[in-house]
Amino acid sequence: MQVPASVRAGGAFLALALTLMIMLGLAILQEGWNVPFEITNRRLLILVAVIILGAFATQRKDQAGSRTQVIALVVGVGLIVISMLIPQSTLYTLQQWWIALYAVMALLCALVLRRASLPSS
């Protein structure tokens, strides 16, 4: 039996929310509060990699790993490696509270999608 698409999408949103909060926490510790948050091409590649990994990391306990999961892992790790090799350029800036808001919205999306995939009793 395959993992439902809603659970995969929920995992992707959950991973995105967690990563955004980690990025925000690191930015606050390094630069301080209420400093503009720079969205760079490196950060975007890392977020895309996390979305891919979050979507394909979900599996049932009795299910063996599949070729698709291994390919998704390789693609995700490859994107992270590429993000470290490309020159960093700022694409746009946001206030830090926007990142927190995006993380909360991603968490809510994850909860709604995962809740929708639960069987009705």
Residue 98: predicted pLDDT: 95
- List the one residue out of 83, 87, 79, 91 whose CA is nearest residue 51: 79
pLDDT by 10-residue block (mean), the chain, 121 residues:
78 94 95 92 95 80 74 92 94 94 96 82 61
Residue 58: predicted pLDDT: 61
Q: How many Cβ atoms sit within 10 Å of the Cβ of residue 82?
A: 14
* Residue type at position 19: T
Rounded CA-CA distance 108/98 in Å is 15
Residue 116: predicted pLDDT: 83
The predicted model scores a pTM of 0.87
Taking every pair of Cα atoms in the chain, the longest distance, rounded to a whole number of angstroms, is 52
Q: Is 63 helix (H, G, I), strand (E, B) or coil?
A: coil
Rounded CA-CA distance 81/50 in Å is 13
